[in-house]
Amino acid sequence: MKHLNKAAILASVVAVATPAMADDWTGFYIGAHGGYGEVSGGGADNSDFLGGVQAGYNYDFGGWVLGAEVDYSFDNRSFGASTMDDTWSLKGKVGYAFNDTMVYGTVGGVRGGIASGGTTTYDNGYIYGVGVEQRLASNWSVAGEILQTRFDSFGGGADVKDTKAVLKVNYRF
């Protein structure tokens, strides 16, 4: 009986100490991302690695999830005589959560810079894509996204297209 009580107490402590997964996706998050992408424009293209940071908020409506995210990607992919500099994006997200997995689409606006001849030109464009996010623990998740960014007549010149695949790690509050 004495060992049974100790076992019951130990089981209770372990059950209380084990973090439970969150019931929904509601809340703020911050994280980092890295990936690989191809940028093209003006008849030239190049593929290379990129990285950045993101922050956002999701609200779970009982399966359907709406969210917003801002991200910054630092870049140094050259194509022709130009180099893709940093990009900022503000995206909306609509998804559906299957317990700890969320599948979503995203669309928004982007501001990017392209350096050429010692001058950096900035322009606005749009971004869209799809993703899947997996909750690993109550506060941690990983996500993968395929994104397409378009700048029509960048700086009054060529159309620029940026296609990338990114892996994200997020900490949720």
Query: 142-161, pLDDT tens digit by residue?
Result: 999 999 999 987 777 788 89
Cβ neighbours of residue 52 closer than 8 Å, sequence gap 6 or more: 32, 33, 34, 71, 72, 73, 74
Round to whole Å and give the CA distance between 39 and 36: 10
Q: Give percent of the chain above pLDDT 90.
A: 59
Residue 5 is predicted with a pLDDT of 44
Phi, psi at 90, each rounded to 5°:
-125, 115
Max mean pLDDT range (28-32, 71-75, 109-113, 151-155): 28-32
Domain positions in the chain: 25-172
Check pLDDT > 70 for residue 12: no
Segment 61-85 mean pLDDT: 89
The CA R_g of the chain, rounded to the nearest whole Å, is 21
Read off the tokens for 76.
């140094």
Check pLDDT > 80 for residue 30: yes
Segment 36-62 mean pLDDT: 91
140-151 and 64-74 beta bridge pairing: unpaired
- Domain covering 25-172 assigned CATH 2.70.98.40 in the classification: no
Higher-scoring residue by pLDDT: 59, 158 = 59
pLDDT-derived band of residue 29, with 50, 70 and 90 as boundaries?
Answer: very high
Check pLDDT > 90 for residue 41: no
